[in-house]
């Protein structure tokens, strides 16, 4: 039975991914609730039925009191036995059936699947954002918003049906029940209803705003703490533990103040409830007693009215808390929308096709990209790299080398000009096919907190163990991999490497990254200081493997250690975002220009980035 209700809605069902999600709350929620539409309708009807049954039971309790008052004990069952039998069957069988179906729709169908669907689709949306988008925020805050928005959405929907719809139906039923006895009994309940609604409208939106502020503050705490943990080696290296404590403590104190404000509003809400509920109890029960004294109402009327208002008194706190929770959760969703409802900032063109590699010629045609600023980046770069050509890229820090590579990978769209691969402009091909055609090793190698095997074959999911091992051997990584063991006892290629690969040395991380590119065997190869973390002996061995791997590929290699690129087919020198020299190592040395100066000033094979 549980499985039936749990599978009524598939949270992973195919859907049209919105590149520009709704920016307003209710359309945003409606887009996620669309798969649950039919279930929500049935749940609303069942909630109506459950509330109606509860009102009916209170009404019938009053009738029982009236029947007991006038009936002879010996004749009571003979006169009313059939009626009582039907009511007994209803209470024992039909009522629990309706309620359990309603509960299962809420607890088994809606709650788990809404949270799963929101989390899954939000994560997919965030993953599609560009690299630059991620660089503008804390990873911890992004993750926190994805995680907390999902349960908040589910809780908000749960409160709608578990409390709000139930409360509205119960209140309307109470008005009808009291009005059926005497219209004047409706008056105190109507006055109370107006006061209750006003209290809700005054307090609860303020609670919602306070909740959003607290949610923002809580995300800030997460972002700061995760930032400290992610960079724990730097924290320890600079003895900055106390500074990081203060940095997080500042955000924690802001969150405490925000939470205090939220709790003050809740206390004010409870005080208001106590006052108006006291009025309701006194007014309705007192008026029912007056009607009984005047012979207009029966003892059953007094009993039913008393039960009704006492039940309402007990419910109001629950309803108010449900409303408060509803608006608090909406506040959390609003805060999450600041991240997960942002439009995708780098899209494939509608007619984008997979990149077709025919040699791998790369052309930068009058490319300018300055990140929206007036300086930096690239300025009017024209560069053609022929199929299979190996080009070294040299320049001081900030010369534009990383910008050139990032534009080639389409981490950003060029501001002016065009980049093509085999004549295909990057904007006309899919991003995935472009990056599948490029193998890259960066200076700052980051590994996934998974096994060595998973990291090596990350770009080649169908690789065999033999292929993984062969790639590792080619870059001198196999021997140290066999010696690895993680805290869970996993060894060798099964050992996990820690977050960002922190359990490995820089050289070990770089060799695993090189093995990954060897295994990927992409037609275009980009090496950004690919051997910078290696000692000279290992580098010499790997350099031969790298040159072998470059055969037949179009290669761009960034290096400060000029000896690693001296044997390239061409060397391009960037300065201030422009190409200032282009030629072979021998030609550039002979020219006596900037490259020759770099070569002359090298100490231990490194480029001195400061002109002298």
Q: pLDDT (tens digit, 9 = 90+) per residue, 504-536? A: 887 788 888 889 988 998 999 998 876 665 666
Two tokens, residue 519: 């295994």
Query: When comparing pLDDT for 369 and 280, which is higher?
Result: 369
pTM of this prediction? 0.75
Task: Decide: 299 and 65 in contact? Cβ < 8 Å.
Answer: yes
Domain 23-340 and domain 362-601, same fold? Reply is: no
* pLDDT greater at residue 411 or residue 335: 411
Indicate the domain borders of the chain.
23-340, 362-601
Q: Give one DSSP letter per residue of 333-402, joined into a string.
A: HHHHHHHHTSPPSS---TT-B----SS--EEEEEEEE-TTSSSSSEEEEEEEE-TT-EEEEE--TTSSHH
Residue 573 · residue 588 · CB < 8 Å? yes
Convert 60-120 into a string of H (helix), E (strand) and C (coil). Answer: HHHHHHHHHHHCCHHHHHHHHHHHHHHHHHHHHHHHHHHHHHHHHHHHHHHHHHHHHHHHH
What would the mean pLDDT of 347-373 be, rounded to a whole number? 92
Between 113-117, 187-191, 319-323, the lowest mean confidence (pLDDT) is in 319-323
Tell me the C-alpha distance between 353 and 493, whole Å.
Answer: 36
What is the CATH architecture of 362-601? 3-Layer(aba) Sandwich (3.40)
- The CATH number of 23-340 is 1.20.1560.10
Q: CB under 8 Å to 380, separation ≥6 — which residues?
A: 366, 367, 368, 417, 578
Cα angle vertex 407, ends 528, 412, to 5°? 125
Cα distance between residue 365 and residue 383, in whole Å: 7
DSSP helix/strand/coil, 205: helix
For the record, the structure tokens of 402 come out as: 């990383």
- Per-residue confidence at 609, pLDDT binned at 50, 70, 90? very low
């Amino acid at each position: 039975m549980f499985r039936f209700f749990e599978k009524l809605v598939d949270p992973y069902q195919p859907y049209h991914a919105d590149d520009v999600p709704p920016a307003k709350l209710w359309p945003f929620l409606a887009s996620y609730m669309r798969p649950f539409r039919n279930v929500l309708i049935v749940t609303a009807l069942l909630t109506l039925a459950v509330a109606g049954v509860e009102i009916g039971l209170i009404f019938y309790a009053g009738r029982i009191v009236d029947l007991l008052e006038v009936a002879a004990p010996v004749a009571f069952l003979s006169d009313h036995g059939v009626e009582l039998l039907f009511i007994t069957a209803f209470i024992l069988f039909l009522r629990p059936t309706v309620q359990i179906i309603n509960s299962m729709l809420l607890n088994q169908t809606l709650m788990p699947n809404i949270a799963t669907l929101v989390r899954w689709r939000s994560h997919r949306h965030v993953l599609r954002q560009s690299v630059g988008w991620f660089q503008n925020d804390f990873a911890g805050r992004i993750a926190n918003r994805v995680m907390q928005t999902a349960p908040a959405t589910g809780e908000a929907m749960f409160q709608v049906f578990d409390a709000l719809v139930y409360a509205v139906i119960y209140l309307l039923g109470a008005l009808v029940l009291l009005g059926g006895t005497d219209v004047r009994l409706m008056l105190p309940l109507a006055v109370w209803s107006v006061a209750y609604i006003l209290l809700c409208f005054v307090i609860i939106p303020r609670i919602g705003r306070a909740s959003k502020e607290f949610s923002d503050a809580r995300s800030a705490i997460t972002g700061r703490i995760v930032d400290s943990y992610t960079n724990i080696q730097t924290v320890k290296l600079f003895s900055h533990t106390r500074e990081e404590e203060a940095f997080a403590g500042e955000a924690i104190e802001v969150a405490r103040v925000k939470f205090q404000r939220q709790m003050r509003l809740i206390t004010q809400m409870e005080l208001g409830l106590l006052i108006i509920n006291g009025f309701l109890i006194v007014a309705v029960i007192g008026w029912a007693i007056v009607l009984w004294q005047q012979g207009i109402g029966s003892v059953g009327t007094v009993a039913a009215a008393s039960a009704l208002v006492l039940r309402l008194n007990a419910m109001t706190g629950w309803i108010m808390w449900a409303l408060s929770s509803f608006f608090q959760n909406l506040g959390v969703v609003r805060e999450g929308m600041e991240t997960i409802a942002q439009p995708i900032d780098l899209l494939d063109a509608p007619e984008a096709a997979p990149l077709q590699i025919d040699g791998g010629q790369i052309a930068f045609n009058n490319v300018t990209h300055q990140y929206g600023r007036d300086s930096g980046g690239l300025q009017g770069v024209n560069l053609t790299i022929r199929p299979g050509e190996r080009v070294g890229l040299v320049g001081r820090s900030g010369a534009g080398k990383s910008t050139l590579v990032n534009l080639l990978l389409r981490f950003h769209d060029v501001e002016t000009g065009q980049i093509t691969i085999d004549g295909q402009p990057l904007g006309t091909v899919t991003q995935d096919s472009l990056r599948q055609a490029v193998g890259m090793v960066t200076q700052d190698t980051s590994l996934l907190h998974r096994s060595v095997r998973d990291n090596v074959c990350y770009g080649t999911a169908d690789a065999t163990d033999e292929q993984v091992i062969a790639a590792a051997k080619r870059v001198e990584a196999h021997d140290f991999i066999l010696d690895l063991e993680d805290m869970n006892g996993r060894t060798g290629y099964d050992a996990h490497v820690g977050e960002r690969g922190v359990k490995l040395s820089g050289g070990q991380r770089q060799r695993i990254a090189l093995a990954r590119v060897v295994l990927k065997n992409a037609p275009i190869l980009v090496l950004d200081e690919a051997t910078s973390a290696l000692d000279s002996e290992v580098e010499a061995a790997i350099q031969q493997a790298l040159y072998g791997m470059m055969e037949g590929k179009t290669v761009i290699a960034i290096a400060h250690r000029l000896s690693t690129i001296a044997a390239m087919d061409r060397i391009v020198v960037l300065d201030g975002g422009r190409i200032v020299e282009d030629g072979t190592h021998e030609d550039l040395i002979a020219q006596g220009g900037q490259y020759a100066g770099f070569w002359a000033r090298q100490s231990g094979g490194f480029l001195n980035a400061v002109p002298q």
